[in-house]
Amino acid sequence: MTIQNDVRDGDSRPLHHAKSEAPEVMYVPRYTGVQRVNHWITAILFTLLTLSGLAMFTPYLFSLTGLFGGGQATRAVHPWFGVALAISFLFLFVRFWRLNIPNKDDVEWSKKIGDVVTNREDRLPELGKYNAGQKGVFWGQTALIGVMFVTGLVIWNTYFGGLTSIETQRWALLAHSLAAVIAIAIIVVHVYAGIWVRGTGRAMVRGTVTGGWAYRHHRKWFRQMAGGPARRGSVDKRGS
């Protein structure tokens, strides 16, 4: 099998095989080390924002402020977490936005969401690096983080409190809270999907997926990585 690089992803690592006496397992590079670090920094910042935001959202969760040194400290660090998240996510956006542009395959995939849920992969269209659900998470979080960043600046009284009216700040706070709730819900689904689809988590931990996983879930992308038509006999199905 001829090996090519995934030019769009900037990943120059070749496909490789695990050394084992058992049937060889092909591993396909999916994310570089820099991309994974960027992803995990973003994930950690989002978690910190969620915890500190919930601590201020309702008195029932005020005890979470203890994680950040108390109520005043939580109010002080929360917006800075937001600034850091916006910067980190911006790097992710620059790296991946082209790969997340919707296409006709996504429309067909969405029409067969029932087959997706029941794992009938043979009925689904061949996909590139991301499916419609993953693209939805990407663009949804892009919009929501943008809303939270802008509204967060409006309600950041320490630096911008005098620039807008109280009424504007109230509307901004409402929009900020709604965007945060939706963003948290999307991330919960995102994490669940990563656990539900076996073998997915490996991509963001080790940077590779098995050939079986790539062939089953993102066959078009796998063919691009392999440099030609993928055949069922050429990949290990244990990774699917």
The residues spanned by each domain of the chain are: 25-100+127-239
Closest residue by Cα to residue 176 from 159, 152, 156: 152
- Residue 142 — very low, low, confident or very high, per pLDDT cuts 50/70/90? very high
Exposed/middle/buried for residue 80 (C-beta within 10 Å: 0-12, 13-18, 19+): middle
Strands 208-210 and 26-29: antiparallel
Cβ contacts of residue 234 below 8 Å, gap of 6+?
Answer: 1, 26, 211, 226
Average pLDDT, the chain: 85
pLDDT at 130: 93
**pLDDT tens-place string over residues 69-105:** 999 999 999 999 999 999 999 999 999 999 999 999 9
pTM beyond 0.85, yes or no:
no
pLDDT at 100: 96
Is the model's pLDDT at 14 over the cut of 60?
no
Can you tell me the mean pLDDT for 17-35? 76
CA 132, CA 122: separation in Å to the nearest integer? 17
Is the model's pLDDT at 178 over the cut of 90?
yes
| DSSP track, 74-121 | HHHHHHHHHHHHHHHHHHHHHHHTGGG---HHHHHHHHTHHHHHTT-G
Is the model's pLDDT at 151 over the cut of 80?
yes
Closest residue by Cα to residue 105 from 132, 129, 78, 81: 132
Is the model's pLDDT at 172 over the cut of 60?
yes
Q: Which of these CATH numbers, 2.30.40.10, 3.30.43.10, 1.20.950.20, 1.10.10.10, describes 25-100+127-239?
A: 1.20.950.20
Most confident of 27-31, 172-176, 211-215, 229-233: 172-176
Per-residue burial over 185-223, b if 16 or more Cβ lie within 10 Å, else e, is eebeebeeeeeeeebbebbeeebbbbbbbbbbbbbebbb
Our CA dihedral for 126, 129, 132, 134, rounded to 10 degrees, sits at 150
**Which residues are the active-site residues?**
190
Closest residue by Cα to residue 182 from 208, 146, 207: 146
pLDDT at 114: 83
